[in-house]
């Protein structure tokens, strides 16, 4: 089997593809996999790290706010769509995939659209309750439109062949062991807090987390792993301004990006994060307590709805960005750890929400589509 993946821009589009690819490779070791992403995107780094062949096309997304600068950017994007389509056609012709899988992000548009025009069957996967523009457009002609949540179906194109699969979770996340993860990370028996604001980072999370770290530095009660993201390179300077000498606090692991998320999730007692669909699926899969800070800057406020699906089931706590300060974050964390059973109950309830066979469901759909096209 030759399978081409396309998706990128953020880890929320990349990780589902890597999860599906990993499961597929385990079930069919001889499968040949190619991942196509955006030139300069983080997939250019993450996909080869995961061990998969990677090719890029030059593409950018449309800016939705009206301004002269954005008008010029959108003109450039129109040109790039044409060149990306030509690049995609060349890649597809050379690789000759039996099937393609798109996981969202603007790069998947020209790749999957061109594959379908060339007669290659395609499946797309939508991670959120409210679908992205690219997936919505592709759903009309996709062989299958795989949904993490049933709510997304009503937004898809009329005639889309929708199937509920849940969000794929990487096998490495499912299999990570808490004891060995803590050993690899050099952690002791103190509670572990893991925090991140998404792969690009979020100032609105980084600044309050700096206050939380300054508070922690007084007693070193917690061990803390924090990723400040691609746009947060100023964060170590902020910690120094707050009087934190990281060399004097080995219990603080501060980095730009978390490359070993399976170990970090396995080691954590509490996760402070956004409400991206894949992140929440991973929290559920491993059963971790979380304090969720939904991003308000997303389509249809879908992160708030993602978060509330867990909060209503007592599987997470929420702290909205409008209420987020260093002090409110410190207060919430102290409350969560005040009674051990609070963290335990959140973790147990998160685990109950997990769809743990999403990878298998998606794998079966890929085989189904291949059989329909007489290529199984």
**Per-residue confidence band for 201, with pLDDT thresholds at 50, 70 and 90:** confident
Same domain, 341 and 267: yes
Same domain, 18 and 147: yes
Looking at every residue in the chain, the average pLDDT score rounds to: 90
Radius of gyration of the chain from its Cα atoms, rounded to whole angstroms: 21
CA distance 36 to 18: 12
pLDDT confidence of residue 352: 93
Cα-Cα end-to-end distance for the chain: 8
- Which has the closest alpha carbon to 104: 67, 148, 74, 68? 148
Kindly state the percentage of the chain with pLDDT values over 90: 74
Same domain, 131 and 271: no
Residue 338 has pLDDT above 70, yes or no: yes
CA distance 46 to 67: 33
Same domain, 124 and 183: no
**Per-residue confidence band for 345, with pLDDT thresholds at 50, 70 and 90:** very high
Strand 192-196 to 223-227 pairing: parallel
Same domain, 181 and 309: yes
Same domain, 129 and 106: yes
**Per-residue confidence band for 376, with pLDDT thresholds at 50, 70 and 90:** very low
Spatial strand order of the sheet with 2-6 comes to 53-57, 32-38, 2-6, 99-102, 122-126, 144-147, 162-164
Residue 42 has pLDDT above 70, yes or no: yes
Residue 55 has pLDDT above 60, yes or no: yes
Same domain, 23 and 122: yes
**Per-residue confidence band for 29, with pLDDT thresholds at 50, 70 and 90:** very high
CA distance 198 to 195: 9
pLDDT confidence of residue 74: 47
Identify the domain containing residue 151 by its residue range. 2-168+357-372
Per-residue pLDDT tens digits for 218-269: 999 999 999 999 889 999 999 999 999 999 999 999 999 999 999 999 999 9
CATH assignment of the domain containing 61: 3.40.50.2000
CA distance 208 to 230: 18
Per-residue pLDDT tens digits for 135-150: 999 999 999 999 988 8
Count the domains in the chain: 2
3-class state of residue 369 by DSSP: helix
Same domain, 38 and 156: yes
CA distance 199 to 283: 16
- Count Cβ atoms within 10 A of the Cβ of residue 348 and give its class: 0-12 exposed, 13-18 middle, 19 or more buried: middle
Same domain, 188 and 322: yes
- Which has the closest alpha carbon to 38: 30, 46, 29, 26? 46
Same domain, 246 and 305: yes
Neighbour-count burial for 39-74, b at 16+ CB within 10 Å, e otherwise: bebbbbebbeebebebbbbebbbeeeeeeeeeeeee
Per-residue pLDDT tens digits for 96-105: 999 999 999 8
Same domain, 181 and 112: no
CA distance 171 to 110: 29
3-class state of residue 149 by DSSP: coil
CA distance 348 to 228: 28
**Per-residue confidence band for 365, with pLDDT thresholds at 50, 70 and 90:** very high
Same domain, 345 and 362: no
**Per-residue confidence band for 75, with pLDDT thresholds at 50, 70 and 90:** very low
Rounded to 5 degrees, φ, ψ at 184 are -65, -35
């Amino acid at each position: 089997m030759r399978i081409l993946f396309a998706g990128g821009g953020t880890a929320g589009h990349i990780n589902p593809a890597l999860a599906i690819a990993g499961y597929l490779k385990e079930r069919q070791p001889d499968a040949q996999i190619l991942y196509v992403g955006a030139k300069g995107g983080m997939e250019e780094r993450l996909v080869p790290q995961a061990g998969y062949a990677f090719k890029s096309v030059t593409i950018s997304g449309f800016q939705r706010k009206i301004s002269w600068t954005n008008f010029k950017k959108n003109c450039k994007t129109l040109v790039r769509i044409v060149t990306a389509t030509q690049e995609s056609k060349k890649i597809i012709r050379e690789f000759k995939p039996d099937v393609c899988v798109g996981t969202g992000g603007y790069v998947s548009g020209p790749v999957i659209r061109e594959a379908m025009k060339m007669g290659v069957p395609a499946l797309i996967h939508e991670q959120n309750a409210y679908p992205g523009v690219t997936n919505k457009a592709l759903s009309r002609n996709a062989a299958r439109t795989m949904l993490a949540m049933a709510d997304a179906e009503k937004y898809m194109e009329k005639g889309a062949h929708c199937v509920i699969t849940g969000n794929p979770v990487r096998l490495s996340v499912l299999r990570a062991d808490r004891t060995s993860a803590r050993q690899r990370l050099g952690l002791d028996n103190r509670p572990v807090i893991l925090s991140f604001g998404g792969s690009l980072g979020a100032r609105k999370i980084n600044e309050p987390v700096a206050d939380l770290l300054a508070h922690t530095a007084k007693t070193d009660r917690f061990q803390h792993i924090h990723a400040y993201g691609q746009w947060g390179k100023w964060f170590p300077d902020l910690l120094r301004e707050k009087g934190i000498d990281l060399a004097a606090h080995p219990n603080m692991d501060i980095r730009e990006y978390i490359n070993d998320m399976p170990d970090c999730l396995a080691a954590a007692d509490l996760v402070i994060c956004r409400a991206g669909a894949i992140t929440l699926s991973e929290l559920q899969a491993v059963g971790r307590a979380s304090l969720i800070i939904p991003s308000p800057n997303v389509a249809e406020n879908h992160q708030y709805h993602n978060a509330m699906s867990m909060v209503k089931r007592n599987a997470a706590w929420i702290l909205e960005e409008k209420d987020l300060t260093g002090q409110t974050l410190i207060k919430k964390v102290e409350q969560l750890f005040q009674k051990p059973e609070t963290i335990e109950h959140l973790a147990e309830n998160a685990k109950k929400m997990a769809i743990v066979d999403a990878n298998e469901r998606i794998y079966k759909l890929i085989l189904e589509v291949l059989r329909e096209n007489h290529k199984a």
